Amino acid sequence: MKLSNLIIIILFFWSCSTLKTNDTQSITIYMIGDSTMANKKNPNSNPEHGWGQVLPIFFTENVIIKNHAVNGRSSKSFRDLKHWKAVLDSLQKGDYVFIQFGHNDSKDTDPKRYTNPQTSYRYNLMRYVEETRAKGAIPVLFSSIARRKFNEEGVLLDSHGNYTLITRLVAQEMNVPFIDLQYETEQLEITYGVEESKKLHLHFKKGENEYFPDGIEDNTHLSKLGANEVANLAVKELSKKVPSLKKYSKLNE
């Protein structure tokens, strides 16, 4: 065989293999929400992590994740403080928008954040969905993650009231994929149990952790372990509820 023919054959198979590895189109996922989703400062020393912060490790390199979630934001304040405008201005056709609010919407002593679940919260979610779709992007609604709230009998109690129900109803009404992370994380907390579930959150005695020298007992925000567990649950549910994302999940490899 001539050398030139050999080179042509090699180049042919190389091009085929290259096409095969690049046949999955790159996508962009935008995330909007609160501190349970947000990226945290000083990740090497800060034990607190948002589940959106660790989400990239569960997807292939074809997924670009832009986490715009911000500590302390509700569905109202996220828009009022112009965080949503930055996302909306950047959205392209085919992008995904993960929407998760509720924790701070329930703060009924703070008029800058509080929303009535039956009225303004519902309306805010609908606006996010409508404006996302107007840009040709794909909205996905998430319920809030559960708080670690066990009573004396070891029963995990609800702390989100009607916010999860309204999120579910908006998703049904507007035909939006709905990921019930409250249910999934309730089961996670229960599986870990009353004491072991502290590892999912921020529980340190005084002097035990340099980042929280005075100690901390936080049953809302996530440790790195907790964030990874929640992200794992989210990706598993996304593969079921948003089939177009399944091929990007490393959990399916």
Catalytic residue list:
35, 217, 221
Any idea which residue has 């996220």 for tokens? Answer: 78
Angstrom distance (rounded) from CA 16 to CA 71 = 46
Any idea which residue has 């703060």 for tokens? Answer: 107
Alpha-carbon dihedral 164, 34, 36, 232, rounded to 10 degrees: 70
- The Cβ-side half-sphere exposure at 192, using a 13 Å CA radius, reads 21
Q: What angle do CA 195, 199, 205 make, to 5 degrees?
A: 85
The β-bridge partners of 237 are: none
Q: What token pair was written down for 148?
A: 């670690």
